[in-house]
A and B are shown apart, each in its own frame.
Chain A
Amino acid sequence: DQQVKQNSPSLSVQEGRISILNCDYTNSMFDYFLWYKKYPAEGPTFLISISSIKDKNEDGRFTVFLNKSAKHLSLHIVPSQPGDSAVYFCAASGKTGNQFYFGTGTSLTVIP
């Protein structure tokens, strides 16, 4: 039962352009949505999050958009840099925070 889905396993973008990573979820009770970045053989690194009561959160080059009616969120990276190349995981949690539900990840390659 995959409550958080990332339907694009991979994405390639030219350096300097925008990267858009997408995520869908099924549980309307999720309270927080998060994006993590992961390099091979390392742990996930927290990037940015958004509360379910907001529709946008921005932190430097990273912006997360939430569309609750569509149960969809996206991460925009502008401008994309080669160092952004990694696997990006979308995650969600409920009010208790007892579990973070992860998507399957999208591998982003930023081409110099």
Chain B
Amino acid sequence: EPEVTQTPSHQVTQMGQEVILRCVPISNHLYFYWYRQILGQKVEFLVSFYNNEISEKSEIFDDQFSVERPDGSNFTLKIRSTKLEDSAMYFCASRAVYGTEAFFGQGTRLTVV
């Protein structure tokens, strides 16, 4: 069964460092999303992406964040200068063009120390 895959599963980084979280969406899906969940809190929307453009972004997704689809299969989230409060599980998701549901990856646990 097709699935969204995310790497790495766990990333530890020092405050102020740049991190890139990687995702391989389900092939033939064209809508991509990043969400995050801080421990014990709700699942928060970061950004959606379609046709090589950001479709929508939340207030969390400030200038420190960026997304890219560098090739036909990968979708990345970059955090330029990480803060302690960026520590969270980051989930990538994808959706088919005529689909109504998003399918999520297993997540990357980002720990900023």
Q: Which residues from chain A sit less than 8 Å from chain B, CB to CB? A: 32, 34, 36, 41-46, 49, 51, 89, 93, 96-105
* Smallest CB separation, A31 vs chain B (Å): 8
Tell whether, in the assembled complex, residue B95 and residue A97 are in contact, meaning their CB atoms are under 8 Å apart. yes
Tell whether, in the assembled complex, residue A98 and residue B102 are in contact, meaning their CB atoms are under 8 Å apart. no
Q: Which listed residue (A32, A44, A101) contacts B45, Cβ 8 A?
A: A101
User: Interface size class for chain B?
Assistant: 20 to 34
Cβ of B43 within 8 Å of any chain A Cβ, yes or no, is: yes
Given known A97-B31, A97-B95, contact A46–B56 (CB-CB < 8 A): no
Binds A, one of B14-22, B64-72, B73-81, B104-112: B104-112
Cβ of B11 within 8 Å of any chain A Cβ, yes or no, is: no
Given known A89-B43, A104-B42, contact A98–B55 (CB-CB < 8 A): yes
A–B complex contacts, Cβ < 8 Å, 23 sampled? A34-B100, A41-B107, A42-B107, A43-B4, A43-B105, A44-B43, A44-B91, A45-B104, A46-B101, A51-B100, A96-B56, A97-B95, A97-B100, A98-B31, A98-B55, A99-B58, A101-B45, A102-B42, A102-B44, A102-B45, A103-B42, A104-B42, A105-B43
- B45 nearest CB neighbor, chain A only: A99
A90–B105 alpha-carbon span in the complex (Å): 18
Given known A49-B101, A89-B43, contact A98–B56 (CB-CB < 8 A): yes
Residues of A near B56 (CB, < 8 A) are 96, 98-99
Tell whether, in the assembled complex, residue B100 and residue A41 are in contact, meaning their CB atoms are under 8 Å apart. no
Task: Produce 1/0 per residue, B81-113, CB < 8 A to A.
Answer: 000000001010101000011111111010000
Residues of B near A43 (CB, < 8 A) are 4, 6, 91, 93, 104-107
New contact pairs (18) apart from A41-B89, A46-B101, A105-B43, CB-CB < 8 Å: A32-B100, A34-B100, A34-B101, A36-B104, A43-B104, A43-B105, A46-B102, A49-B101, A97-B31, A97-B95, A97-B102, A98-B48, A98-B50, A99-B48, A100-B45, A102-B42, A102-B45, A103-B42
Given known A99-B45, A105-B42, contact A41–B109 (CB-CB < 8 A): yes
Task: Produce 1/0 per residue, B14-37, CB < 8 A to A.
Answer: 000000000000000001010100
